Structure 1
Amino acid sequence: MGYIEFEKVLGKHISIAEEIIGTDFENKLFEKSYYYIANESIKKGFCGMSYNMLTIMTNEKDTVQSITVHFQKVIDRQFYDSIVEKYGKPDNIQIIENRQLESESVTEDDEGQVIQTLRKSTFSLKEGSFEERPLYIIWKKESFEVKAFLRHEQNISEITFSLK
Protein backbone atom coordinates (compact mmCIF):
# COMPACT_ATOMS: atom_id res chain seq x y z
CA MET A 1 0.00 0.00 0.00
CA GLY A 2 1.24 3.45 -0.87
CA TYR A 3 2.32 6.13 1.52
CA ILE A 4 0.76 9.58 1.42
CA GLU A 5 2.80 12.31 3.10
CA PHE A 6 -0.11 14.05 4.81
CA GLU A 7 2.18 16.59 6.44
CA LYS A 8 2.86 18.06 2.97
CA VAL A 9 -0.82 18.98 2.63
CA LEU A 10 -0.91 21.00 5.88
CA GLY A 11 -1.16 24.73 5.28
CA LYS A 12 -2.18 24.24 1.64
CA HIS A 13 -5.54 24.90 -0.03
CA ILE A 14 -8.05 22.03 0.09
CA SER A 15 -7.76 21.58 -3.71
CA ILE A 16 -4.12 20.49 -3.25
CA ALA A 17 -5.25 17.97 -0.63
CA GLU A 18 -7.77 16.52 -3.07
CA GLU A 19 -5.02 16.10 -5.70
CA ILE A 20 -2.67 14.33 -3.28
CA ILE A 21 -5.26 12.19 -1.48
CA GLY A 22 -6.99 11.06 -4.67
CA THR A 23 -10.37 10.99 -6.31
CA ASP A 24 -11.68 7.96 -4.41
CA PHE A 25 -12.76 10.23 -1.57
CA GLU A 26 -16.07 12.03 -1.32
CA ASN A 27 -17.02 14.85 0.98
CA LYS A 28 -20.80 14.96 0.85
CA LEU A 29 -21.14 15.15 4.62
CA PHE A 30 -20.26 18.22 6.70
CA GLU A 31 -19.16 20.19 3.64
CA LYS A 32 -15.39 19.94 3.03
CA SER A 33 -14.20 18.85 6.45
CA TYR A 34 -15.09 15.15 6.33
CA TYR A 35 -13.84 12.83 3.59
CA TYR A 36 -14.61 9.16 3.18
CA ILE A 37 -14.32 6.48 0.52
CA ALA A 38 -17.77 5.74 -0.90
CA ASN A 39 -16.86 2.28 -2.19
CA GLU A 40 -16.02 0.04 0.78
CA SER A 41 -13.94 -2.26 -1.44
CA ILE A 42 -11.43 0.56 -2.03
CA LYS A 43 -8.80 0.80 0.67
CA LYS A 44 -6.00 3.31 1.09
CA GLY A 45 -2.84 2.51 2.95
CA PHE A 46 -0.66 4.34 5.42
CA CYS A 47 2.44 2.71 6.96
CA GLY A 48 1.13 -0.77 6.20
CA MET A 49 -2.40 -0.31 7.60
CA SER A 50 -5.51 0.25 5.51
CA TYR A 51 -8.09 2.97 6.09
CA ASN A 52 -11.15 4.31 4.30
CA MET A 53 -11.94 7.49 6.20
CA LEU A 54 -10.25 10.86 6.68
CA THR A 55 -11.24 13.97 8.54
CA ILE A 56 -9.77 17.14 7.06
CA MET A 57 -10.23 20.35 8.99
CA THR A 58 -9.82 23.63 7.14
CA ASN A 59 -9.99 27.28 8.13
CA GLU A 60 -12.32 29.89 6.64
CA LYS A 61 -10.00 30.22 3.60
CA ASP A 62 -10.13 26.44 2.93
CA THR A 63 -6.54 26.02 4.09
CA VAL A 64 -5.87 22.57 5.57
CA GLN A 65 -5.22 22.78 9.33
CA SER A 66 -5.29 19.07 10.21
CA ILE A 67 -5.82 15.64 8.69
CA THR A 68 -6.94 12.66 10.74
CA VAL A 69 -6.66 9.12 9.36
CA HIS A 70 -9.12 6.67 10.94
CA PHE A 71 -8.20 2.98 11.24
CA GLN A 72 -10.52 0.03 11.88
CA LYS A 73 -8.04 -1.53 14.33
CA VAL A 74 -5.44 -0.53 16.88
CA ILE A 75 -2.06 0.50 15.55
CA ASP A 76 0.23 -2.52 15.70
CA ARG A 77 3.97 -2.87 16.19
CA GLN A 78 4.65 -3.03 12.45
CA PHE A 79 2.84 0.30 11.95
CA TYR A 80 4.66 1.83 14.91
CA ASP A 81 8.07 0.73 13.58
CA SER A 82 7.20 2.08 10.14
CA ILE A 83 6.17 5.50 11.43
CA VAL A 84 9.23 5.67 13.70
CA GLU A 85 11.35 5.01 10.62
CA LYS A 86 9.66 7.96 8.90
CA TYR A 87 9.43 10.49 11.78
CA GLY A 88 11.97 9.24 14.30
CA LYS A 89 11.50 8.32 17.94
CA PRO A 90 8.29 9.84 19.38
CA ASP A 91 8.51 12.79 21.74
CA ASN A 92 5.86 11.29 24.03
CA ILE A 93 4.29 7.89 24.60
CA GLN A 94 1.52 8.36 27.14
CA ILE A 95 -0.06 5.46 28.98
CA ILE A 96 -3.00 5.42 31.36
CA GLU A 97 -2.46 4.98 35.08
CA ASN A 98 -4.69 5.27 38.13
CA ARG A 99 -7.93 4.61 36.21
CA GLN A 100 -10.96 4.93 38.46
CA LEU A 101 -14.56 4.24 37.47
CA GLU A 102 -16.65 7.20 38.66
CA SER A 103 -20.07 6.01 37.50
CA GLU A 104 -21.78 3.60 35.15
CA SER A 105 -25.28 3.51 33.66
CA VAL A 106 -26.88 0.87 31.49
CA THR A 107 -29.75 1.46 29.06
CA GLU A 108 -31.94 -1.49 28.13
CA ASP A 109 -34.63 -1.93 25.51
CA ASP A 110 -38.19 -3.09 26.30
CA GLU A 111 -37.05 -6.73 26.32
CA GLY A 112 -34.26 -6.16 28.82
CA GLN A 113 -31.43 -6.30 26.28
CA VAL A 114 -28.55 -3.93 26.99
CA ILE A 115 -28.35 -1.38 24.18
CA GLN A 116 -25.91 1.08 25.74
CA THR A 117 -23.47 1.23 28.62
CA LEU A 118 -22.04 4.58 29.67
CA ARG A 119 -19.02 4.79 31.95
CA LYS A 120 -17.39 7.84 33.42
CA SER A 121 -13.77 7.33 34.42
CA THR A 122 -10.89 9.45 35.55
CA PHE A 123 -7.26 8.65 34.99
CA SER A 124 -3.85 10.21 34.72
CA LEU A 125 -1.22 9.79 32.05
CA LYS A 126 2.45 8.97 32.39
CA GLU A 127 5.30 8.35 30.00
CA GLY A 128 5.65 4.75 28.94
CA SER A 129 6.51 2.49 26.03
CA PHE A 130 4.66 1.10 23.03
CA GLU A 131 4.45 -2.29 24.74
CA GLU A 132 2.39 -0.74 27.59
CA ARG A 133 -0.65 -0.10 25.35
CA PRO A 134 -0.37 3.69 25.06
CA LEU A 135 -3.31 6.04 24.72
CA TYR A 136 -1.27 8.65 22.81
CA ILE A 137 1.95 8.64 20.80
CA ILE A 138 3.17 12.11 19.79
CA TRP A 139 5.84 13.30 17.36
CA LYS A 140 6.62 17.03 17.44
CA LYS A 141 8.27 18.27 14.28
CA GLU A 142 9.38 21.77 13.33
CA SER A 143 6.18 22.90 11.59
CA PHE A 144 3.71 20.12 12.38
CA GLU A 145 2.73 17.50 14.94
CA VAL A 146 1.74 13.85 14.50
CA LYS A 147 -0.50 12.43 17.23
CA ALA A 148 -1.68 8.81 17.34
CA PHE A 149 -4.72 8.05 19.50
CA LEU A 150 -5.11 4.34 20.31
CA ARG A 151 -8.47 3.12 21.63
CA HIS A 152 -7.63 -0.42 22.69
CA GLU A 153 -11.06 -1.28 24.13
CA GLN A 154 -12.84 -0.30 20.89
CA ASN A 155 -10.07 -1.76 18.66
CA ILE A 156 -9.75 1.46 16.65
CA SER A 157 -7.14 4.17 16.31
CA GLU A 158 -6.51 7.41 14.51
CA ILE A 159 -3.50 9.47 13.63
CA THR A 160 -3.70 13.24 13.25
CA PHE A 161 -1.32 15.51 11.38
CA SER A 162 -1.73 19.14 12.41
CA LEU A 163 0.00 22.48 12.03
CA LYS A 164 1.76 23.80 15.12
Structure 2
Amino acid sequence: MDYIEFEKVLGKHISIAEEVIGTDFENKLFGKSYYYIADELIKKEFCGTRYNMLTIMTNEKDTVQSITVHFQKVIDRQFYDVFIEKYGKPDNIQIIENRKVESESVIKDDNGKIVERLRKSTLNLKEGSFEEKPLYIIWKKEGFEIKVFLKHKQNISEITFSIKNT
Protein backbone atom coordinates (compact mmCIF):
# COMPACT_ATOMS: atom_id res chain seq x y z
CA MET A 1 0.00 0.00 0.00
CA ASP A 2 1.25 3.47 -0.88
CA TYR A 3 1.42 6.03 1.88
CA ILE A 4 3.30 9.20 2.56
CA GLU A 5 6.07 8.81 5.09
CA PHE A 6 5.45 12.05 6.96
CA GLU A 7 8.19 11.24 9.46
CA LYS A 8 10.79 11.72 6.70
CA VAL A 9 9.87 15.42 6.52
CA LEU A 10 10.37 16.08 10.26
CA GLY A 11 13.45 18.13 11.06
CA LYS A 12 13.90 19.15 7.43
CA HIS A 13 13.28 22.45 5.65
CA ILE A 14 9.68 23.06 4.55
CA SER A 15 10.75 22.85 0.89
CA ILE A 16 11.36 19.10 1.37
CA ALA A 17 7.67 18.74 2.24
CA GLU A 18 6.74 19.68 -1.31
CA GLU A 19 8.82 16.78 -2.62
CA VAL A 20 7.32 14.26 -0.18
CA ILE A 21 3.75 15.53 0.29
CA GLY A 22 3.07 17.66 -2.80
CA THR A 23 2.43 21.33 -3.45
CA ASP A 24 -1.22 21.55 -2.40
CA PHE A 25 -0.53 23.43 0.83
CA GLU A 26 0.08 27.07 1.66
CA ASN A 27 0.68 29.27 4.70
CA LYS A 28 -1.76 32.17 4.70
CA LEU A 29 -3.01 31.66 8.26
CA PHE A 30 -1.30 32.27 11.61
CA GLY A 31 1.90 33.62 10.13
CA LYS A 32 4.74 31.79 8.57
CA SER A 33 4.90 28.59 10.63
CA TYR A 34 1.48 27.08 9.86
CA TYR A 35 0.90 25.37 6.51
CA TYR A 36 -2.32 23.70 5.41
CA ILE A 37 -4.08 22.31 2.36
CA ALA A 38 -5.95 25.32 1.03
CA ASP A 39 -8.56 23.71 -1.21
CA GLU A 40 -11.21 21.73 0.67
CA LEU A 41 -11.95 19.82 -2.52
CA ILE A 42 -8.48 18.28 -2.55
CA LYS A 43 -8.77 14.72 -1.32
CA LYS A 44 -5.74 12.64 -0.48
CA GLU A 45 -5.31 9.25 1.15
CA PHE A 46 -3.15 8.05 3.99
CA CYS A 47 -3.12 4.33 4.80
CA GLY A 48 -6.20 3.90 2.61
CA THR A 49 -8.27 6.59 4.37
CA ARG A 50 -9.17 9.90 2.74
CA TYR A 51 -8.23 13.22 4.28
CA ASN A 52 -8.51 16.77 3.03
CA MET A 53 -6.70 18.73 5.72
CA LEU A 54 -3.06 18.66 6.63
CA THR A 55 -1.23 21.10 8.87
CA ILE A 56 2.52 21.55 9.06
CA MET A 57 4.18 23.50 11.88
CA THR A 58 7.67 24.87 11.41
CA ASN A 59 10.11 26.78 13.58
CA GLU A 60 11.64 30.19 12.83
CA LYS A 61 14.11 28.56 10.43
CA ASP A 62 11.28 26.87 8.44
CA THR A 63 12.29 23.47 9.80
CA VAL A 64 9.31 21.11 10.05
CA GLN A 65 8.45 20.38 13.71
CA SER A 66 5.16 18.53 13.26
CA ILE A 67 2.68 17.37 10.65
CA THR A 68 -0.96 16.67 11.49
CA VAL A 69 -3.29 14.75 9.20
CA HIS A 70 -6.97 15.52 9.82
CA PHE A 71 -9.67 12.97 8.99
CA GLN A 72 -13.40 13.61 8.83
CA LYS A 73 -14.13 10.33 10.56
CA VAL A 74 -12.82 8.19 13.38
CA ILE A 75 -10.20 5.82 12.01
CA ASP A 76 -11.39 2.24 11.91
CA ARG A 77 -9.81 -1.10 12.69
CA GLN A 78 -8.68 -1.62 9.10
CA PHE A 79 -6.74 1.69 9.18
CA TYR A 80 -5.31 0.82 12.59
CA ASP A 81 -4.11 -2.58 11.33
CA VAL A 82 -2.39 -0.97 8.31
CA PHE A 83 -0.79 1.57 10.63
CA ILE A 84 0.50 -1.19 12.94
CA GLU A 85 1.92 -3.01 9.93
CA LYS A 86 3.96 0.12 9.12
CA TYR A 87 4.87 1.41 12.61
CA GLY A 88 4.49 -1.59 14.91
CA LYS A 89 2.35 -1.87 18.02
CA PRO A 90 1.73 1.42 19.84
CA ASP A 91 3.49 2.30 23.08
CA ASN A 92 0.28 3.58 24.65
CA ILE A 93 -3.44 3.26 24.04
CA GLN A 94 -5.19 5.62 26.42
CA ILE A 95 -8.89 5.40 27.14
CA ILE A 96 -11.02 7.66 29.31
CA GLU A 97 -11.55 6.08 32.71
CA ASN A 98 -13.28 8.98 34.38
CA ARG A 99 -14.61 12.34 33.16
CA LYS A 100 -15.54 15.13 35.56
CA VAL A 101 -17.15 18.33 34.31
CA GLU A 102 -15.54 21.21 36.22
CA SER A 103 -17.68 24.00 34.79
CA GLU A 104 -20.09 24.66 31.97
CA SER A 105 -21.43 27.78 30.29
CA VAL A 106 -24.01 28.27 27.59
CA ILE A 107 -24.38 31.15 25.16
CA LYS A 108 -27.82 31.70 23.64
CA ASP A 109 -28.99 33.86 20.77
CA ASP A 110 -31.80 36.43 21.03
CA ASN A 111 -34.40 33.70 20.59
CA GLY A 112 -33.03 31.62 23.45
CA LYS A 113 -31.50 29.00 21.16
CA ILE A 114 -28.17 27.60 22.35
CA VAL A 115 -25.43 28.67 19.94
CA GLU A 116 -22.39 27.67 21.97
CA ARG A 117 -21.70 25.38 24.90
CA LEU A 118 -18.39 25.47 26.72
CA ARG A 119 -17.29 22.79 29.15
CA LYS A 120 -14.17 22.46 31.22
CA SER A 121 -13.56 18.82 32.07
CA THR A 122 -10.95 16.79 33.86
CA LEU A 123 -10.14 13.37 32.41
CA ASN A 124 -8.46 10.37 33.96
CA LEU A 125 -6.86 8.10 31.40
CA LYS A 126 -5.81 4.48 31.65
CA GLU A 127 -4.24 1.96 29.32
CA GLY A 128 -6.73 0.12 27.15
CA SER A 129 -7.26 -1.39 23.74
CA PHE A 130 -8.36 -0.14 20.33
CA GLU A 131 -11.77 -1.76 20.85
CA GLU A 132 -12.38 0.42 23.93
CA LYS A 133 -12.58 3.60 21.82
CA PRO A 134 -9.32 5.23 22.92
CA LEU A 135 -8.77 8.97 23.15
CA TYR A 136 -5.06 8.69 22.28
CA ILE A 137 -2.82 6.12 20.62
CA ILE A 138 0.90 6.89 20.87
CA TRP A 139 3.99 5.52 19.15
CA LYS A 140 7.43 6.58 20.37
CA LYS A 141 9.95 5.96 17.62
CA GLU A 142 13.60 6.85 17.31
CA GLY A 143 13.69 10.59 16.61
CA PHE A 144 9.93 11.09 16.28
CA GLU A 145 6.59 10.44 17.91
CA ILE A 146 3.15 9.68 16.48
CA LYS A 147 0.03 10.66 18.40
CA VAL A 148 -3.44 9.69 17.21
CA PHE A 149 -6.25 11.75 18.74
CA LEU A 150 -9.69 10.16 18.32
CA LYS A 151 -12.77 12.33 18.86
CA HIS A 152 -15.49 9.71 18.76
CA LYS A 153 -18.44 12.01 19.50
CA GLN A 154 -17.41 14.46 16.77
CA ASN A 155 -16.49 11.60 14.39
CA ILE A 156 -13.04 13.01 13.58
CA SER A 157 -9.42 11.91 14.01
CA GLU A 158 -6.01 13.58 13.92
CA ILE A 159 -2.63 11.95 13.52
CA THR A 160 0.36 14.08 14.47
CA PHE A 161 3.92 13.20 13.56
CA SER A 162 6.33 15.30 15.61
CA ILE A 163 9.99 15.55 16.47
CA LYS A 164 10.56 13.69 19.71
CA ASN A 165 11.29 15.97 22.64
CA THR A 166 14.51 14.85 24.26
Question: Which TM-score bucket, shorter chain as reference?
Answer: over 0.9
Residue 40 of structure 1, CA deviation: 2.6
Q: How many angstroms apart in 2 are the aligned matches of 1:89 and 1:99? A: 27
Residue 2 of structure 1, CA deviation: 4.4
1:17-96 aligned within 5 A: 17-96=17-96
Aligned length: 164
Secondary structure of the corresponding residue to residue 79 of structure 2: helix
Superposed CA deviations along residues 13-34 of structure 1, whole A, max 9, x for unmatched, are 1100122111222222223433
Superposed CA deviations along residues 65-121 of structure 1, whole A, max 9, x for unmatched, are 111111111111111111011000000000011211222221110001110111121
Q: How many angstroms apart in 1 are the aligned matches of 2:101 and 2:13? A: 44
Q: How many angstroms apart in 1 are the aligned matches of 2:79 and 2:145? A: 17
Q: How many angstroms apart in 1 are the aligned matches of 2:71 and 2:101? A: 27
Give structure 1 stretches of 5+ with no counterpart.
none
Q: TM-score, normalised by structure 1?
A: 0.93
Q: How many angstroms apart in 2 are the aligned matches of 1:83 and 1:43? A: 19
1:36 touches 1:52 (CA, 8 Å); kept in 2? no
Query: Matched residues, percent identical?
Result: 82
Q: How many angstroms apart in 1 are the aligned matches of 2:54 and 2:38? A: 12
Q: How many angstroms apart in 2 are the aligned matches of 1:37 and 1:139? A: 25
Alignment correspondent of 1:106: 106
Superposed CA deviations along residues 48-80 of structure 1, whole A, max 9, x for unmatched, are 111121221112211111111111111111111
Q: Report which stretch shifted further, 24-33 or 122-131.
A: 24-33
Q: How many angstroms apart in 2 are the aligned matches of 1:55 and 1:39? A: 13
1:93 touches 1:127 (CA, 8 Å); kept in 2? yes
2:37 touches 2:55 (CA, 8 Å); kept in 1? no
Alignment correspondent of 1:163: 163
CA RMSD of superposed structures (Å): 1.5
2:8 matches 1:8 = yes
1:34 touches 1:54 (CA, 8 Å); kept in 2? no
Q: How many angstroms apart in 1 are the aligned matches of 2:4 and 2:146? A: 14
1:32 touches 1:56 (CA, 8 Å); kept in 2? no
Secondary structure of the corresponding residue to residue 52 of structure 2: strand
Q: How many angstroms apart in 2 are the aligned matches of 1:160 and 1:40? A: 20
Give structure 2 stretches of 5+ with no counterpart.
none
Residue identity in the other structure for 1:93: I
Q: Report which stretch shifted further, 39-48 or 126-135.
A: 39-48
Q: How many angstroms apart in 2 are the aligned matches of 1:136 and 1:151? A: 9
